[in-house]
Every structure is written in C-alpha cells, then in structure tokens.
C-alpha cells in the first residue's frame, strides 16, 4: 500500500498545503482578539518566542513522523512504536471532532460572504443579526452543507488534483488579500465622528507591549493563550501535519519546508491583527478591542457599515479572504480523517470521503440545533459556559490536543529518542540548526508547558 501512496509534487506543494492548513480561522479570527485582550505587543513577543521554540518542536516532529512512517496519524504512531498505537487513535479523534463544527463556522463565513455580496452589509451590522442567524433552525444547516460539500469535493479529488491544486491557487490569493486589507486598515482615518482616531494609532496599540498593571498571573495568562493559539495556528496535535508529512517526498528538504511554514504562518497571523485591530480601534474605540470571539462576526460588520460604499467592498474582500482560509484548513482536517480510514481499513478515497462527510453532516446538524431546538447551557471546568459546539471544541482543543502533544513529546523525547526525528529531518544532509533547542524542548520544556496548559484547561487552577 505504501508504494501506491500519493505524494505532493514537490516541497512547494507541501509548504502551500501545510500553510493552508495552518492559516485558517485560528489565525484570521482567534489571533487578533487574543492579541487585543493580552496587551497587544506583549502577546506578539510571547507568541513569536513560542513559535520559534515550542511550535517548531511540534511541527518538525509531526512532519518527520509522517514522512518516516508514510502513514496518517491513525497508524503512524503504531508503526513507529507498536505499543504507542493508542496515541494515533487519540490524535485521529481530534480532527474527527473538529470537522463538523469547523464546517459550521465555515458556513457562517460563507453566509457573511453572501450577505455582503448581495448588498445586505448594513443588515449584518445590526445588533441581533449574528445571533438571529445562528439560532435559526434551518439556515445555518444549509450553509454548513454547502461548505462541507466544497470541502469533500477537494478531498475527493485526492492529494495532487484536490489538496495541492487548491492550495496553489488559494494561498497566493489569500496572501495578496491579507496584505492589501492590512495596508488599507493602516490608512483609515476615522474623522471627527470617531475622535480623529487613525489606523496607525491602532497599529501602535497592537505592536507596542503594554504591561501596565500586569502581574505574574496576567503574564502567565498571556503565555497560556499564546501557547493555546499555536495549536490552532500551526495545526499540530490534530494529526494533520503527520498526515501531510506522509505525502512529503524523501528527497525534498524537510527542514527548509518546516521553516517556510513557520514564517508563512507567523506572517499571516501578524497581518490578521494588522487587518482587524486598527480598524476596530478607529471605528469602535479602545473599548471595541474587548469584542472577544465576536470580533469577526459582530464587530467587523459594524466597522464596514461605517465605511460607506467602501465598506461593502471591504466587507466582501474580507469575508472572501476568511472563506479561503477556512476552506484550506477544513480540507486538511477532513484529509487527516480520510487518510486514516484509508490506511487502517484499505477503503478507497472516494468511499472514505463520503463516509466521513455523512458522519460530519449528521454531527453538524446536531451542533447547529444546539443553538435553538437543543439549546442548553453547560459549565465547563475552565469556567466558561458552553453550548454543544463549545463542548465539542473544549474536548478536542483543550483536552485531547494537549494530551496528544504531551504523548508525542514523551514518545520522541524518551522512548524513540530525539535522534529519530533529527535523522529523518536531515536524511539528505540538511542542517538542523536548532538541534540543541529541539532536544531540550521535546524532552523537558514542551511537556511541562503542555501539562500546565492541560491543568489550566481542566480547571485544576486558574491564573
């Protein structure tokens, strides 16, 4: 079966596909509101340090495991060490749980694209618009079906004709849109009605660290937020990078490709803040920075509404860009599940895609109904109040992903030893410039940080 395994045509295809996975809603939506909440530049500095250490360690480890075993996450860990096959099972549960609700959120983005394209942007700025949409018993399901279908079509077409082809088209376009919107956001002037606030003033709030009144507890919150964000940003601990690594050719430069993914992801995450935070500051003031998770679906339409005619264009471009980011990520999530089914059971790609698509739709319908017919509130250990979507997100992201990452560090750091990854990553004579850092991170620092993150998620302590 290994001989028949598909692979990316080259390192560029791999990098764009992996970057497409990494650059998703986590970067465009979650990164800016965390940066706004956590002192702007302080969050950026902490995130950058963690990306170059913690993120690099997990990313190079997972890609190396995938290429070495030529297996998806479901079977890769067992092939590496038979007694550790259970870790592959846990890792595969993560994308299985994420897929249904990620497509729902992708459907929300698609809804806003349609809204702005059809000239209903002012309606989207209304206070009850977003709530009214997600609590509708039918409309969110329709958009979920459309987004899920688009995702399935890409995966159905395979690694080269589907995933790689899509990434080669969407990722350059996405980068151009991100840069364009960022430049425009910096040039905004709110005028007298907005206290003459400017985009550059908002940008300075974003990049200059603000530690006024912050104690050790507050700093630790920033560190934990930045580390949690890395899971979203670089798509680790959810089987995706192991799966994509299994399609990476032996002759291609793994270290160079991992570095390129790091750079691409970090740049887009930073630019996501440049796109959003200055505009929020100009039109909603400093208090608008507290919009939290509602920043994209609630605050941004209000901003576009204040821009007049330009707001409609800006809104269309913005949500099309977010849609592209969401689609490339959802494709990678589905691929992790489909590839696991193929490797484990030997079913065809088409059958595996249809099977997982049907299951994701069924679960997605239940999650959508969690905002209306099946609505309830459930307190989570981390102090949040949750509906069905939040519960699934909490289990996958706050519990299973740290567990997978901790298990991976223990497996590579102590059982198989770091040389397993180092030798795979340098098999063509590449230089491993952060070898000492990598060994220290995978054996000691990363497992401890991850364990602290897991304890915080479980509510064992609160910073």
pLDDT digit string, tens, across residues 211-268 = 877 888 888 889 989 998 988 788 899 999 999 999 999 999 999 999 999 998 889 8
Question: For the CA atoms of 18, 21, 26, 29, what is the dihedral angle to 10 degrees?
Answer: 110
Q: Any idea what the Cα angle at residue 206 is, between residues 204 and 208, rounded to 5°?
A: 60
Quote the pLDDT of residue 463.
60
Give me the sign of the Cα torsion angle 425, 431, 436, 437.
negative
Tokens read off for 194: 């907005």
Nearest-10 crossing angle of helices 41-50, 254-284: 170
115-130 pLDDT, tens digit per residue, is 999 999 999 999 899 9
Pairing of strands 385-386, 378-379: antiparallel
- 262, burial (CB in 10 Å: exposed 0-12, middle 13-18, buried 19+): buried
Q: Which of 24-33, 81-90, 207-216 has the highest mean pLDDT?
A: 81-90
Listed range (37-46, 52-61, 122-131) with the worst mean pLDDT: 37-46
Region 141-151: what's the mean pLDDT?
98
Quote the pLDDT of residue 1.
37
177-199 pLDDT, tens digit per residue, is 999 999 999 999 988 888 899 99
Query: Residue 158 carries which DSSP code?
Result: -
Look up tokens 């080269």; give the residue.
160
The proportion of the chain whose per-residue pLDDT surpasses 90, expressed as a percent, equals 71
409-460 pLDDT, tens digit per residue, is 999 999 999 999 999 999 999 999 899 999 999 999 999 999 999 998 998 8
pLDDT at 3 over 50: no
Q: Taking Cα atoms as reference points, which of 32, 21, 25, 3 lies closest to residue 303? A: 32
pLDDT at 49 over 80: yes
Tokens read off for 48: 């950058």
Mean pLDDT, the chain, whole residue set: 92
CATH topology of domain 19-375: Hydantoin permease (1.10.4160)
């Amino acid at each position: 079966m290994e001989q028949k395994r598909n692979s990316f045509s080259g390192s560029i295809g791999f990098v764009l596909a992996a970057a497409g996975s990494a650059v998703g809603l986590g970067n465009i939506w979650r990164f800016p509101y965390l940066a706004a909440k956590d002192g702007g530049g302080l969050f950026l500095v902490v995130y950058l340090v963690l990306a170059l250490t913690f993120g690099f360690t997990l990313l190079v480890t997972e890609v190396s495991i995938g290429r070495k075993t030529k297996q998806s996450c479901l079977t890769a860990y067992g092939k590496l060490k038979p007694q550790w096959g259970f870790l592959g099972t846990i890792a595969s549960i993560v994308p299985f749980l994420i897929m249904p609700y990620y497509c729902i959120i992708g459907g929300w983005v698609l809804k806003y694209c349609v809204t702005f394209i059809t000239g209903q942007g002012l309606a989207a700025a209304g206070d009850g618009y977003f709530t009214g949409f997600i609590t509708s018993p039918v409309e969110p399901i329709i958009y979920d079906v459309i987004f899920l279908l688009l995702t399935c079509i890409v995966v159905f077409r395979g690694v080269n004709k589907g995933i790689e082809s899509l990434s080669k088209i969407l990722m350059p376009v996405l980068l151009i849109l991100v840069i364009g919107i960022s430049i425009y956001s910096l040039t905004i002037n709110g005028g007298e009605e907005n206290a003459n606030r400017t985009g550059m003033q908002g940008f300075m709030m974003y990049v200059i660290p603000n530690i006024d009144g912050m104690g050790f507890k507050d700093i630790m919150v920033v560190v934990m937020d930045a580390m949690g964000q890395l899971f979203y940003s670089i798509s680790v601990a959810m089987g995706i990078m192991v799966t994509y690594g299994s399609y990476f050719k032996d002759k291609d430069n793994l270290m160079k490709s991992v570095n390129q993914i790091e750079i691409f992801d970090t740049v887009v995450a930073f630019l996501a803040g440049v796109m959003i935070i200055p505009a929020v500051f100009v039109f909603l003031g400093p208090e608008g920075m507290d919009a939290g998770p509602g920043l994209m679906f609630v605050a941004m339409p209000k901003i576009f509404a204040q821009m007049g005619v330009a707001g409609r264009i800006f809104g269309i471009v913005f949500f099309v860009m977010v849609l592209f980011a969401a689609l490339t990520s959802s494709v990678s999530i589905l691929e992790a599940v489909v590839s696991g089914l193929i490797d484990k059971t030997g079913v065809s790609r088409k059958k595996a895609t249809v099977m997982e698509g049907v299951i994701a739709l069924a679960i997605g319908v239940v999650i959508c109904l969690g905002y209306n017919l099946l609505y309830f509130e459930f307190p989570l250990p981390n102090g949040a109040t949750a509906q069905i979507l939040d519960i699934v997100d909490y289990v996958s992201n706050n519990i299973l992903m740290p567990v997978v990452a901790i298990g991976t560090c223990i497996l590579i750091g102590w059982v198989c030893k770091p040389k397993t990854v180092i030798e795979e990553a340098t098999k063509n004579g590449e230089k491993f410039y952060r070898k000492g850092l990598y060994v220290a991170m995978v054996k000691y620092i990363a497992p401890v940080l991850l364990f602290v993150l897991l304890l915080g998620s479980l509510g064992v302590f609160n910073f």
